[in-house]
Structure 1
Amino acid sequence: MPFELPRTITRFIGDAPLIADDVGESPCDVFSFTRGNDRFFLKTCAAIYAPTTYSVLREARVLQWVDGHLSVPEVAVIAQSADGEFMITRCVPGAPIQVRIDEPGTLSALFHEALRQLQSVPIAGCPFDSSVSQRLNELEYLLAHDLCAQEPEPHPWPDLNSPEQLLAHLHAARPKEDPVFSHGDLCDTNVFVDTQDRLHFIDLGRGGIADRWLDIAFAQRNLREDISEQSAQDFLDRLGEPDKPAKREFFEQLDELF
Protein backbone atom coordinates (compact mmCIF):
# COMPACT_ATOMS: atom_id res chain seq x y z
CA MET A 1 0.00 0.00 0.00
CA PRO A 2 1.64 3.25 -1.13
CA PHE A 3 -0.29 5.47 1.32
CA GLU A 4 -1.49 5.46 4.87
CA LEU A 5 -5.20 4.80 4.60
CA PRO A 6 -7.73 7.21 6.13
CA ARG A 7 -9.60 5.88 9.14
CA THR A 8 -12.94 5.70 7.31
CA ILE A 9 -11.33 3.37 4.78
CA THR A 10 -9.60 1.12 7.32
CA ARG A 11 -12.80 0.85 9.38
CA PHE A 12 -14.70 -0.42 6.35
CA ILE A 13 -11.98 -2.90 5.35
CA GLY A 14 -11.47 -4.22 8.87
CA ASP A 15 -9.20 -7.25 9.01
CA ALA A 16 -9.84 -8.32 5.42
CA PRO A 17 -6.64 -8.92 3.43
CA LEU A 18 -6.11 -6.63 0.44
CA ILE A 19 -5.28 -8.39 -2.84
CA ALA A 20 -3.52 -6.25 -5.46
CA ASP A 21 -5.23 -6.03 -8.86
CA ASP A 22 -2.64 -5.68 -11.63
CA VAL A 23 -5.06 -5.30 -14.57
CA GLY A 24 -4.72 -2.05 -16.51
CA GLU A 25 -2.08 0.63 -16.99
CA SER A 26 -3.52 3.39 -14.81
CA PRO A 27 -1.30 4.98 -12.14
CA CYS A 28 -4.06 4.24 -9.65
CA ASP A 29 -3.60 1.33 -7.25
CA VAL A 30 -6.47 -1.14 -6.99
CA PHE A 31 -7.03 -3.85 -4.36
CA SER A 32 -9.87 -6.30 -3.86
CA PHE A 33 -11.14 -7.59 -0.54
CA THR A 34 -14.09 -9.52 0.86
CA ARG A 35 -16.43 -8.28 3.57
CA GLY A 36 -19.02 -10.81 4.63
CA ASN A 37 -20.40 -12.32 1.43
CA ASP A 38 -19.58 -9.29 -0.70
CA ARG A 39 -16.49 -8.43 -2.73
CA PHE A 40 -15.24 -4.85 -2.84
CA PHE A 41 -12.48 -2.85 -4.52
CA LEU A 42 -10.29 -0.18 -2.97
CA LYS A 43 -8.94 2.31 -5.51
CA THR A 44 -6.36 4.96 -4.65
CA CYS A 45 -4.51 7.69 -6.49
CA ALA A 46 -1.74 10.07 -5.44
CA ALA A 47 -2.76 13.66 -4.74
CA ILE A 48 -0.87 14.93 -7.79
CA TYR A 49 -3.46 13.22 -10.01
CA ALA A 50 -6.39 15.10 -8.45
CA PRO A 51 -6.74 17.57 -11.39
CA THR A 52 -6.89 14.73 -13.93
CA THR A 53 -9.26 11.98 -15.00
CA TYR A 54 -7.16 9.61 -12.89
CA SER A 55 -8.74 11.27 -9.86
CA VAL A 56 -10.50 8.68 -7.73
CA LEU A 57 -12.89 11.27 -6.32
CA ARG A 58 -13.84 12.35 -9.84
CA GLU A 59 -14.61 8.74 -10.69
CA ALA A 60 -16.72 8.39 -7.55
CA ARG A 61 -18.74 11.46 -8.55
CA VAL A 62 -19.22 10.10 -12.07
CA LEU A 63 -20.46 6.77 -10.68
CA GLN A 64 -22.89 8.50 -8.34
CA TRP A 65 -24.19 10.81 -11.07
CA VAL A 66 -24.70 8.12 -13.72
CA ASP A 67 -26.25 5.59 -11.32
CA GLY A 68 -29.84 5.11 -12.41
CA HIS A 69 -28.94 5.46 -16.07
CA LEU A 70 -26.33 2.70 -16.22
CA SER A 71 -25.45 -0.26 -14.03
CA VAL A 72 -22.22 0.82 -12.32
CA PRO A 73 -20.43 -0.08 -9.09
CA GLU A 74 -22.00 1.14 -5.87
CA VAL A 75 -19.74 3.66 -4.13
CA ALA A 76 -19.45 2.53 -0.53
CA VAL A 77 -16.83 4.92 0.92
CA ILE A 78 -14.79 7.86 -0.35
CA ALA A 79 -11.99 9.67 1.48
CA GLN A 80 -9.17 12.10 0.90
CA SER A 81 -5.90 12.89 2.62
CA ALA A 82 -2.80 14.96 1.96
CA ASP A 83 -1.35 11.88 0.25
CA GLY A 84 -4.16 11.02 -2.11
CA GLU A 85 -7.73 10.01 -2.83
CA PHE A 86 -9.52 6.80 -1.91
CA MET A 87 -12.70 5.01 -2.97
CA ILE A 88 -14.30 1.70 -2.08
CA THR A 89 -16.83 0.24 -4.51
CA ARG A 90 -18.89 -2.94 -4.50
CA CYS A 91 -18.01 -5.49 -7.18
CA VAL A 92 -20.44 -5.63 -10.11
CA PRO A 93 -21.92 -9.00 -11.09
CA GLY A 94 -20.82 -11.07 -14.05
CA ALA A 95 -17.51 -11.21 -15.87
CA PRO A 96 -15.71 -8.91 -18.33
CA ILE A 97 -17.05 -9.21 -21.86
CA GLN A 98 -13.51 -10.27 -22.70
CA VAL A 99 -14.69 -13.80 -21.81
CA ARG A 100 -16.57 -13.76 -25.15
CA ILE A 101 -13.39 -13.15 -27.16
CA ASP A 102 -13.77 -16.54 -28.86
CA GLU A 103 -17.18 -15.40 -30.13
CA PRO A 104 -16.36 -12.33 -32.26
CA GLY A 105 -19.97 -11.72 -33.29
CA THR A 106 -21.17 -11.84 -29.69
CA LEU A 107 -18.38 -9.55 -28.47
CA SER A 108 -19.15 -7.06 -31.22
CA ALA A 109 -22.85 -7.13 -30.34
CA LEU A 110 -22.03 -6.50 -26.68
CA PHE A 111 -19.93 -3.48 -27.67
CA HIS A 112 -22.84 -2.17 -29.73
CA GLU A 113 -25.18 -2.58 -26.78
CA ALA A 114 -22.67 -0.84 -24.53
CA LEU A 115 -22.52 2.09 -26.94
CA ARG A 116 -26.30 2.26 -27.11
CA GLN A 117 -26.62 2.41 -23.34
CA LEU A 118 -23.83 4.94 -22.88
CA GLN A 119 -25.08 7.26 -25.60
CA SER A 120 -28.63 7.06 -24.23
CA VAL A 121 -27.56 8.76 -20.98
CA PRO A 122 -28.98 12.30 -21.05
CA ILE A 123 -26.21 14.90 -21.05
CA ALA A 124 -28.35 17.85 -20.03
CA GLY A 125 -26.97 18.87 -16.65
CA CYS A 126 -24.03 16.45 -16.82
CA PRO A 127 -21.24 18.16 -14.83
CA PHE A 128 -18.38 16.11 -16.28
CA ASP A 129 -16.43 17.60 -19.16
CA SER A 130 -14.40 15.03 -21.08
CA SER A 131 -14.17 17.06 -24.27
CA VAL A 132 -11.09 17.30 -26.44
CA SER A 133 -10.19 20.67 -24.93
CA GLN A 134 -10.35 19.29 -21.41
CA ARG A 135 -8.34 16.18 -22.29
CA LEU A 136 -5.65 18.23 -24.06
CA ASN A 137 -5.37 20.46 -20.98
CA GLU A 138 -5.03 17.30 -18.91
CA LEU A 139 -2.32 15.96 -21.20
CA GLU A 140 -0.37 19.21 -20.88
CA TYR A 141 -0.61 18.90 -17.09
CA LEU A 142 0.64 15.31 -17.15
CA LEU A 143 3.54 16.20 -19.43
CA ALA A 144 4.48 19.22 -17.30
CA HIS A 145 4.62 17.00 -14.20
CA ASP A 146 6.37 14.10 -15.94
CA LEU A 147 3.40 11.84 -15.30
CA CYS A 148 2.78 10.22 -18.67
CA ALA A 149 4.48 7.89 -21.08
CA GLN A 150 7.42 9.72 -22.61
CA GLU A 151 7.60 7.72 -25.82
CA PRO A 152 4.55 7.25 -28.02
CA GLU A 153 4.47 3.96 -29.85
CA PRO A 154 6.70 4.33 -32.91
CA HIS A 155 4.83 2.15 -35.38
CA PRO A 156 1.37 3.72 -35.84
CA TRP A 157 2.53 7.30 -36.52
CA PRO A 158 6.25 7.37 -37.32
CA ASP A 159 6.21 11.12 -37.99
CA LEU A 160 5.24 11.80 -34.35
CA ASN A 161 8.50 11.07 -32.58
CA SER A 162 8.03 12.81 -29.24
CA PRO A 163 5.25 13.65 -26.78
CA GLU A 164 5.61 17.32 -27.75
CA GLN A 165 5.12 16.55 -31.44
CA LEU A 166 2.11 14.41 -30.66
CA LEU A 167 0.56 17.12 -28.49
CA ALA A 168 1.10 19.79 -31.17
CA HIS A 169 -0.46 17.49 -33.76
CA LEU A 170 -3.48 16.87 -31.55
CA HIS A 171 -4.06 20.60 -31.08
CA ALA A 172 -3.88 21.11 -34.84
CA ALA A 173 -6.12 18.14 -35.68
CA ARG A 174 -8.94 18.78 -33.18
CA PRO A 175 -12.20 17.54 -34.70
CA LYS A 176 -15.63 19.12 -34.49
CA GLU A 177 -17.33 17.24 -31.65
CA ASP A 178 -20.69 15.49 -31.51
CA PRO A 179 -21.30 15.36 -27.75
CA VAL A 180 -22.77 12.36 -25.94
CA PHE A 181 -22.14 10.71 -22.60
CA SER A 182 -18.93 8.74 -23.04
CA HIS A 183 -17.29 6.04 -20.98
CA GLY A 184 -13.89 7.38 -21.98
CA ASP A 185 -12.06 4.03 -21.81
CA LEU A 186 -14.41 1.56 -23.42
CA CYS A 187 -12.75 -1.84 -23.72
CA ASP A 188 -13.58 -5.47 -23.07
CA THR A 189 -12.28 -5.40 -19.49
CA ASN A 190 -14.33 -2.34 -18.47
CA VAL A 191 -17.72 -3.78 -19.43
CA PHE A 192 -19.11 -6.79 -17.56
CA VAL A 193 -21.90 -9.09 -18.65
CA ASP A 194 -23.94 -11.18 -16.23
CA THR A 195 -25.82 -14.44 -16.71
CA GLN A 196 -28.88 -12.54 -17.98
CA ASP A 197 -26.71 -10.69 -20.55
CA ARG A 198 -27.11 -7.41 -18.66
CA LEU A 199 -24.19 -5.02 -18.93
CA HIS A 200 -22.34 -3.34 -16.07
CA PHE A 201 -19.71 -0.62 -16.49
CA ILE A 202 -16.55 -0.07 -14.42
CA ASP A 203 -13.56 2.33 -14.52
CA LEU A 204 -15.49 5.46 -15.42
CA GLY A 205 -12.83 7.95 -14.34
CA ARG A 206 -12.86 9.51 -17.82
CA GLY A 207 -16.64 9.41 -18.06
CA GLY A 208 -18.42 12.56 -19.14
CA ILE A 209 -19.48 14.57 -22.15
CA ALA A 210 -17.25 13.76 -25.12
CA ASP A 211 -17.46 13.06 -28.82
CA ARG A 212 -19.46 9.96 -29.66
CA TRP A 213 -16.61 8.55 -31.77
CA LEU A 214 -14.28 8.32 -28.79
CA ASP A 215 -15.96 5.18 -27.45
CA ILE A 216 -16.47 3.82 -30.97
CA ALA A 217 -12.75 4.24 -31.67
CA PHE A 218 -11.75 2.37 -28.53
CA ALA A 219 -14.15 -0.51 -29.17
CA GLN A 220 -12.99 -0.81 -32.78
CA ARG A 221 -9.34 -0.78 -31.69
CA ASN A 222 -10.07 -3.49 -29.11
CA LEU A 223 -11.59 -5.76 -31.75
CA ARG A 224 -8.87 -4.97 -34.29
CA GLU A 225 -6.00 -5.72 -31.93
CA ASP A 226 -7.48 -8.66 -30.01
CA ILE A 227 -9.48 -10.45 -32.72
CA SER A 228 -8.98 -9.33 -36.33
CA GLU A 229 -9.24 -6.50 -38.83
CA GLN A 230 -12.34 -8.18 -40.23
CA SER A 231 -14.06 -8.26 -36.85
CA ALA A 232 -13.28 -4.58 -36.38
CA GLN A 233 -14.66 -3.77 -39.83
CA ASP A 234 -17.82 -5.78 -39.17
CA PHE A 235 -18.29 -3.76 -35.98
CA LEU A 236 -18.06 -0.50 -37.93
CA ASP A 237 -20.41 -1.78 -40.64
CA ARG A 238 -23.06 -2.53 -38.00
CA LEU A 239 -23.07 1.09 -36.87
CA GLY A 240 -25.33 1.89 -39.81
CA GLU A 241 -23.53 5.15 -40.60
CA PRO A 242 -20.40 6.21 -42.50
CA ASP A 243 -17.11 5.52 -40.77
CA LYS A 244 -15.02 8.47 -39.60
CA PRO A 245 -11.47 7.11 -39.69
CA ALA A 246 -9.89 10.52 -39.05
CA LYS A 247 -11.82 10.84 -35.80
CA ARG A 248 -10.97 7.30 -34.77
CA GLU A 249 -7.30 7.92 -35.38
CA PHE A 250 -7.43 11.20 -33.46
CA PHE A 251 -8.84 9.53 -30.35
CA GLU A 252 -6.32 6.70 -30.56
CA GLN A 253 -3.55 9.29 -30.76
CA LEU A 254 -5.05 11.23 -27.84
CA ASP A 255 -4.91 8.05 -25.78
CA GLU A 256 -1.28 7.32 -26.66
CA LEU A 257 0.34 9.12 -23.72
CA PHE A 258 -2.22 8.15 -21.07
Structure 2
Amino acid sequence: MTFSKTLPAGPLGERLSGYRMERDGLGRSAASVFRLEGEGLPSLYLKVEQAGPFGELANEAARLDWLKASGLPCPDVIARESGGGRNRLLISALPGADLASASALTPLVRVELLAAALLELHRLPIASCPFDHRLENRVAVAKARMQAGIVDETDFDETRLGKSAETLFAELESRRPDREDLVVTHGDACLPNFIACEDGFSGYIDCSRLGIADRYQDIALACRSIASNFGDALVQPFLDLYGLTALEPARLDYYQLLDEFF
Protein backbone atom coordinates (compact mmCIF):
# COMPACT_ATOMS: atom_id res chain seq x y z
CA MET A 1 0.00 0.00 0.00
CA THR A 2 1.22 3.52 -0.82
CA PHE A 3 0.41 6.61 1.18
CA SER A 4 0.03 10.27 0.28
CA LYS A 5 3.02 12.61 0.39
CA THR A 6 0.91 15.29 2.10
CA LEU A 7 1.42 16.01 5.79
CA PRO A 8 -1.09 14.28 8.10
CA ALA A 9 -4.02 16.20 9.56
CA GLY A 10 -4.64 16.68 13.26
CA PRO A 11 -2.15 17.23 16.09
CA LEU A 12 0.71 15.49 14.28
CA GLY A 13 0.20 17.60 11.19
CA GLU A 14 0.17 20.76 13.30
CA ARG A 15 3.42 19.67 14.90
CA LEU A 16 4.97 19.34 11.43
CA SER A 17 4.01 22.80 10.24
CA GLY A 18 6.86 24.26 8.18
CA TYR A 19 8.05 20.89 6.91
CA ARG A 20 7.92 19.51 3.39
CA MET A 21 7.65 15.76 2.97
CA GLU A 22 9.24 13.49 0.37
CA ARG A 23 9.09 9.72 0.00
CA ASP A 24 12.33 8.06 1.10
CA GLY A 25 13.68 4.57 0.54
CA LEU A 26 15.93 4.57 3.62
CA GLY A 27 16.29 1.19 5.26
CA ARG A 28 14.07 -1.82 4.61
CA SER A 29 10.99 -0.94 6.62
CA ALA A 30 7.70 -2.45 5.44
CA ALA A 31 6.06 0.91 6.19
CA SER A 32 6.05 3.87 3.83
CA VAL A 33 8.86 6.20 4.89
CA PHE A 34 8.94 9.96 4.32
CA ARG A 35 11.79 12.38 4.97
CA LEU A 36 10.73 15.74 6.36
CA GLU A 37 12.79 18.88 5.83
CA GLY A 38 12.12 22.48 6.75
CA GLU A 39 14.21 25.63 6.78
CA GLY A 40 15.91 25.93 10.15
CA LEU A 41 14.25 22.74 11.37
CA PRO A 42 15.81 19.37 12.24
CA SER A 43 15.38 16.60 9.66
CA LEU A 44 12.80 13.98 10.63
CA TYR A 45 11.33 10.76 9.29
CA LEU A 46 7.66 9.86 9.28
CA LYS A 47 6.68 6.21 8.91
CA VAL A 48 3.14 5.24 7.95
CA GLU A 49 1.63 1.75 7.85
CA GLN A 50 -1.80 0.25 7.53
CA ALA A 51 -3.16 -0.68 10.95
CA GLY A 52 -3.54 -4.40 11.48
CA PRO A 53 -2.27 -7.46 13.33
CA PHE A 54 1.08 -7.45 11.54
CA GLY A 55 1.93 -3.77 11.97
CA GLU A 56 5.49 -3.07 13.12
CA LEU A 57 5.60 0.60 14.10
CA ALA A 58 4.57 0.06 17.72
CA ASN A 59 7.27 -2.61 17.95
CA GLU A 60 9.80 -0.23 16.44
CA ALA A 61 8.98 2.59 18.85
CA ALA A 62 9.36 0.32 21.87
CA ARG A 63 12.66 -1.04 20.65
CA LEU A 64 14.10 2.36 19.79
CA ASP A 65 13.24 3.58 23.28
CA TRP A 66 14.90 0.52 24.80
CA LEU A 67 17.96 0.74 22.58
CA LYS A 68 18.41 4.43 23.41
CA ALA A 69 18.10 3.65 27.12
CA SER A 70 20.75 0.96 26.67
CA GLY A 71 23.20 3.59 25.45
CA LEU A 72 23.35 2.67 21.77
CA PRO A 73 22.77 5.19 18.96
CA CYS A 74 19.43 5.18 17.15
CA PRO A 75 16.70 7.66 16.20
CA ASP A 76 14.69 9.40 18.91
CA VAL A 77 10.99 8.58 19.02
CA ILE A 78 9.26 11.94 18.75
CA ALA A 79 5.60 10.99 18.35
CA ARG A 80 3.28 8.06 17.72
CA GLU A 81 -0.24 8.27 16.36
CA SER A 82 -2.96 5.89 15.19
CA GLY A 83 -6.17 6.77 13.40
CA GLY A 84 -7.98 6.47 10.12
CA GLY A 85 -6.78 2.91 9.66
CA ARG A 86 -3.14 3.92 9.83
CA ASN A 87 -0.31 3.95 12.35
CA ARG A 88 2.29 6.72 12.23
CA LEU A 89 5.70 7.02 13.84
CA LEU A 90 7.74 10.23 13.83
CA ILE A 91 11.47 9.84 14.53
CA SER A 92 14.62 11.92 14.31
CA ALA A 93 17.10 11.57 11.43
CA LEU A 94 20.62 10.27 11.98
CA PRO A 95 23.62 11.95 10.32
CA GLY A 96 25.08 10.26 7.26
CA ALA A 97 23.83 7.58 4.91
CA ASP A 98 22.98 3.91 5.15
CA LEU A 99 25.86 1.46 4.69
CA ALA A 100 24.54 0.26 1.33
CA SER A 101 24.77 3.73 -0.17
CA ALA A 102 27.42 5.58 1.89
CA SER A 103 29.64 6.15 -1.14
CA ALA A 104 32.02 8.43 0.79
CA LEU A 105 33.20 5.27 2.57
CA THR A 106 34.88 2.31 0.90
CA PRO A 107 33.05 -1.02 0.93
CA LEU A 108 35.64 -2.44 3.31
CA VAL A 109 35.14 0.43 5.77
CA ARG A 110 31.38 -0.11 5.59
CA VAL A 111 31.85 -3.82 6.31
CA GLU A 112 34.09 -2.91 9.26
CA LEU A 113 31.40 -0.57 10.61
CA LEU A 114 28.73 -3.23 10.24
CA ALA A 115 30.81 -5.82 12.09
CA ALA A 116 31.56 -3.37 14.91
CA ALA A 117 27.90 -2.32 15.20
CA LEU A 118 26.74 -5.92 15.47
CA LEU A 119 29.41 -6.75 18.03
CA GLU A 120 28.33 -3.82 20.17
CA LEU A 121 24.68 -4.83 19.96
CA HIS A 122 25.41 -8.50 20.62
CA ARG A 123 27.35 -7.62 23.78
CA LEU A 124 24.25 -6.21 25.47
CA PRO A 125 23.07 -8.45 28.32
CA ILE A 126 20.12 -10.52 27.16
CA ALA A 127 18.64 -10.38 30.67
CA SER A 128 17.98 -6.68 30.10
CA CYS A 129 16.12 -7.18 26.80
CA PRO A 130 12.33 -7.59 27.03
CA PHE A 131 11.88 -8.68 23.39
CA ASP A 132 11.96 -12.46 22.94
CA HIS A 133 12.57 -13.54 19.34
CA ARG A 134 13.76 -17.07 19.99
CA LEU A 135 12.80 -19.60 17.33
CA GLU A 136 9.77 -20.83 19.22
CA ASN A 137 8.27 -17.36 18.88
CA ARG A 138 9.57 -16.39 15.44
CA VAL A 139 8.53 -19.62 13.74
CA ALA A 140 5.03 -19.12 15.18
CA VAL A 141 4.93 -15.59 13.71
CA ALA A 142 6.22 -16.93 10.39
CA LYS A 143 3.37 -19.45 10.36
CA ALA A 144 0.80 -16.75 11.16
CA ARG A 145 2.10 -14.57 8.33
CA MET A 146 1.95 -17.51 5.92
CA GLN A 147 -1.62 -18.35 6.95
CA ALA A 148 -2.61 -14.69 6.53
CA GLY A 149 -1.28 -14.77 2.97
CA ILE A 150 1.19 -11.92 3.43
CA VAL A 151 4.41 -13.78 2.67
CA ASP A 152 5.69 -12.39 -0.65
CA GLU A 153 6.65 -15.46 -2.68
CA THR A 154 7.90 -13.24 -5.53
CA ASP A 155 10.59 -11.82 -3.21
CA PHE A 156 12.21 -15.11 -2.20
CA ASP A 157 15.96 -15.46 -2.64
CA GLU A 158 16.93 -16.72 -6.09
CA THR A 159 17.55 -20.26 -4.87
CA ARG A 160 13.98 -20.44 -3.48
CA LEU A 161 12.03 -18.64 -6.19
CA GLY A 162 9.19 -20.75 -7.54
CA LYS A 163 8.57 -22.51 -4.24
CA SER A 164 5.48 -21.89 -2.16
CA ALA A 165 5.46 -20.44 1.34
CA GLU A 166 3.94 -23.71 2.56
CA THR A 167 6.87 -25.69 1.11
CA LEU A 168 9.38 -23.37 2.74
CA PHE A 169 7.57 -23.50 6.06
CA ALA A 170 7.73 -27.29 6.09
CA GLU A 171 11.47 -26.93 5.49
CA LEU A 172 11.67 -24.37 8.28
CA GLU A 173 10.15 -26.82 10.73
CA SER A 174 12.13 -29.86 9.64
CA ARG A 175 15.52 -28.11 9.63
CA ARG A 176 15.15 -26.24 12.91
CA PRO A 177 18.49 -26.09 14.79
CA ASP A 178 18.66 -27.92 18.11
CA ARG A 179 20.37 -25.03 19.91
CA GLU A 180 20.44 -21.23 19.92
CA ASP A 181 23.41 -19.00 20.73
CA LEU A 182 21.38 -16.17 22.20
CA VAL A 183 22.29 -12.49 21.96
CA VAL A 184 20.39 -9.24 21.46
CA THR A 185 19.96 -9.17 17.68
CA HIS A 186 18.91 -6.40 15.32
CA GLY A 187 16.69 -8.88 13.51
CA ASP A 188 17.13 -7.37 10.04
CA ALA A 189 20.88 -6.82 9.87
CA CYS A 190 21.13 -5.68 6.25
CA LEU A 191 23.42 -2.84 5.22
CA PRO A 192 20.58 -0.31 4.65
CA ASN A 193 19.59 -0.57 8.32
CA PHE A 194 22.85 0.87 9.67
CA ILE A 195 23.77 4.55 9.27
CA ALA A 196 27.25 6.07 9.14
CA CYS A 197 29.01 9.25 8.17
CA GLU A 198 32.67 10.00 7.54
CA ASP A 199 33.17 10.39 11.30
CA GLY A 200 31.97 6.85 11.96
CA PHE A 201 28.86 4.89 12.90
CA SER A 202 25.72 6.97 13.51
CA GLY A 203 23.20 4.37 14.60
CA TYR A 204 20.74 1.56 14.01
CA ILE A 205 17.45 2.03 12.13
CA ASP A 206 14.43 -0.16 11.25
CA CYS A 207 14.61 -1.88 14.62
CA SER A 208 11.10 -3.38 14.76
CA ARG A 209 12.52 -6.94 14.79
CA LEU A 210 15.17 -6.33 17.47
CA GLY A 211 15.13 -9.00 20.15
CA ILE A 212 16.79 -11.97 21.80
CA ALA A 213 17.68 -14.54 19.14
CA ASP A 214 20.52 -16.66 17.84
CA ARG A 215 23.41 -14.48 16.67
CA TYR A 216 23.05 -16.16 13.26
CA GLN A 217 19.80 -14.21 12.83
CA ASP A 218 22.05 -11.20 12.22
CA ILE A 219 25.11 -12.96 10.78
CA ALA A 220 23.04 -14.67 8.08
CA LEU A 221 21.35 -11.51 6.83
CA ALA A 222 24.56 -9.47 7.08
CA CYS A 223 26.46 -12.00 4.96
CA ARG A 224 23.70 -12.05 2.36
CA SER A 225 23.56 -8.26 2.25
CA ILE A 226 27.33 -7.89 1.93
CA ALA A 227 27.47 -10.43 -0.90
CA SER A 228 24.58 -8.73 -2.69
CA ASN A 229 25.99 -5.21 -2.38
CA PHE A 230 29.76 -5.73 -2.54
CA GLY A 231 30.34 -9.29 -3.74
CA ASP A 232 31.35 -12.50 -1.99
CA ALA A 233 34.94 -11.34 -1.46
CA LEU A 234 34.00 -9.15 1.52
CA VAL A 235 31.98 -11.76 3.40
CA GLN A 236 35.04 -13.43 4.95
CA PRO A 237 36.59 -10.11 6.08
CA PHE A 238 33.26 -9.34 7.78
CA LEU A 239 33.30 -12.69 9.59
CA ASP A 240 36.93 -12.14 10.60
CA LEU A 241 36.16 -8.67 11.94
CA TYR A 242 33.17 -10.00 13.85
CA GLY A 243 35.31 -12.81 15.25
CA LEU A 244 33.35 -15.79 13.93
CA THR A 245 36.16 -18.25 13.29
CA ALA A 246 34.10 -21.33 12.44
CA LEU A 247 31.11 -20.56 10.24
CA GLU A 248 28.18 -22.99 10.39
CA PRO A 249 26.67 -22.98 6.87
CA ALA A 250 23.53 -24.90 7.90
CA ARG A 251 22.61 -22.28 10.52
CA LEU A 252 23.46 -19.49 8.10
CA ASP A 253 21.09 -20.92 5.51
CA TYR A 254 18.38 -21.61 8.10
CA TYR A 255 18.14 -18.00 9.23
CA GLN A 256 18.11 -16.81 5.63
CA LEU A 257 15.22 -19.22 5.10
CA LEU A 258 13.42 -17.82 8.15
CA ASP A 259 13.79 -14.32 6.75
CA GLU A 260 11.72 -15.28 3.68
CA PHE A 261 8.62 -15.03 5.89
CA PHE A 262 9.27 -11.43 7.01
Same fold (TM over 0.5): yes
1:136-155 counterparts in 2 under 5 A?
136-151=139-154, 153=156, 155=158
| Corresponding residue number in structure 1 for 2:90 | 88
1:19-168 counterparts in 2 under 5 A?
19-23=22-26, 26-35=29-38, 36-48=40-52, 51-52=53-54, 54-68=55-69, 69-81=71-83, 83-98=85-100, 99-100=102-103, 103-151=106-154, 153=156, 155-157=158-160, 161-168=163-170
Q: Structure 2, unaligned stretches of length 5 or more?
A: none
User: 1 CA distance for matches of 2:140 and 2:104?
Assistant: 35
Q: Which stretch of structure 1 is more off in the superposition, 211-220 or 130-139?
A: 130-139
User: 2 CA distance for matches of 1:139 and 1:129?
Assistant: 15
Q: What are the Cα deviations for residues 132-162 of structure 1, in whole angstroms up to 9, with x where unaligned? A: 222222222222222220346374247x821
Instruction: Kindly indicate whether the alpha-carbon contact (under 8 Å) linking 2:7 and 2:21 is maintained by their aligned counterparts in 1.
Output: no
User: 2 CA distance for matches of 1:102 and 1:93?
Assistant: 14
Give the C-alpha shift of residue 38 in structure 1.
Answer: 0.6
Instruction: Kindly indicate whether the alpha-carbon contact (under 8 Å) linking 1:43 and 1:88 is maintained by their aligned counterparts in 2.
Output: yes
TM-score, normalization by structure 2: 0.87
Alignment RMSD (CA, Å): 2.4
TM-score, normalization by structure 1: 0.88
User: 1 CA distance for matches of 2:56 and 2:133?
Assistant: 13
User: 2 CA distance for matches of 1:85 and 1:168?
Assistant: 33
Relative to structure 1, the CA distance from residue 154 to residue 205 in structure 2 (aligned partners, 3 Å threshold; closer, same or farther) is closer
User: 2 CA distance for matches of 1:10 and 1:247?
Assistant: 46
Residue correspondences, number: 254
Q: What are the Cα deviations for residues 209-247 of structure 1, in whole angstroms up to 9, with x where unaligned? A: 111111111111112122222211232244242101111
Instruction: Kindly indicate whether the alpha-carbon contact (under 8 Å) linking 2:105 and 2:198 is maintained by their aligned counterparts in 1.
Output: no
Instruction: Kindly indicate whether the alpha-carbon contact (under 8 Å) linking 1:17 and 1:33 is maintained by their aligned counterparts in 2.
Output: yes
User: 2 CA distance for matches of 1:97 and 1:252?
Assistant: 20
User: 2 CA distance for matches of 1:126 and 1:82?
Assistant: 32
User: 2 CA distance for matches of 1:211 and 1:100?
Assistant: 31
Matched, 1:212 2:200: no
Q: Structure 1, unaligned stretches of length 5 or more?
A: none
User: 1 CA distance for matches of 2:152 and 2:144?
Assistant: 13
Give the C-alpha shift of residue 85 in structure 1.
Answer: 1.6
- The amino acid across from 2:136 in the alignment is S
Give the C-alpha shift of residue 8 in structure 1.
Answer: 3.0
User: 1 CA distance for matches of 2:20 and 2:217?
Assistant: 37
User: 1 CA distance for matches of 2:259 and 2:206?
Assistant: 15
SS in 1 for 2:173: helix
